[in-house]
């Protein structure tokens, strides 16, 4: 199963593609799309996002496109622009016949870090650990997109047997355990 996570934005749009075979996760690619600065026309920025994401989904042919569900902020203009960018991204994903799935921000953070109120830095740390990424991505948008894809990969395991304690969880989910070296300050 191939999953693309998309963190849409009209200024920076993050994306991350992972492949899941049984319980093995593999990073395919990730990055950000920054519409050309010269495209001051908002509609041209949306077209740029659509065209570049379309090329990514045509190359990777994801089965699922995972998005963070929208939430209402204080600035209605920002919400409207985000909605437009999200629509361009959804349409790009649909060109590859990807199934669209949504998760709340809290659900995404909890699935990757274990805490629904985790910081962006904590999400980035866990994404890098889970997918064995050595470099530090320049933008949180890319790791947020990967976290969204990871959330779907974990949630698609709805046939996971229930666990009753931490030892049982560790035995059934060794791929979700991250070793932290406490000697590194």
Catalytic positions are 7, 68, 141
Structure tokens at 25: 């996760």
Hey, CA dihedral for 91, 96, 97, 98, is it positive or negative?
negative
Burial tier of 52 (Cβ tally within 10 Å: 0-12, 13-18, 19+):
middle
CA distance 21 to 17: 13
Q: Are 99 and 63 in contact (CB under 8 A)?
A: yes
């Amino acid at each position: 199963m191939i999953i693309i996570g998309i963190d849409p934005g009209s200024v920076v749009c993050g994306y991350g593609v992972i492949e899941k075979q049984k319980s093995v996760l593999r990073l395919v690619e990730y990055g950000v799309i920054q519409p050309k600065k010269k495209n001051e026309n908002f509609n041209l920025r949306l077209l740029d996002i659509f065209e570049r994401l379309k090329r990514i989904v045509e190359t990777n042919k994801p089965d699922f496109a995972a998005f963070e569900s929208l939430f209402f902020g204080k600035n209605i203009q920002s919400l409207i622009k985000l909605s437009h960018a999200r629509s361009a991204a959804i349409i790009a994903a649909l060109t590859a016949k990807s199934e669209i799935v949504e998760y709340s921000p809290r659900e995404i953070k909890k699935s990757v870090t274990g805490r629904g109120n985790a910081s962006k830095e904590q999400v980035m740390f866990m994404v890098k650990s889970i997918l064995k990424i050595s470099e530090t991505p320049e933008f949180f948008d890319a790791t947020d997109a990967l976290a969204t894809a990871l959330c779907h990969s974990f949630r698609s395991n709805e046939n996971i047997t229930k666990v009753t304690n931490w030892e049982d969880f560790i035995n059934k989910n060794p791929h979700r355990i991250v070793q932290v070296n406490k000697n590194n300050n």
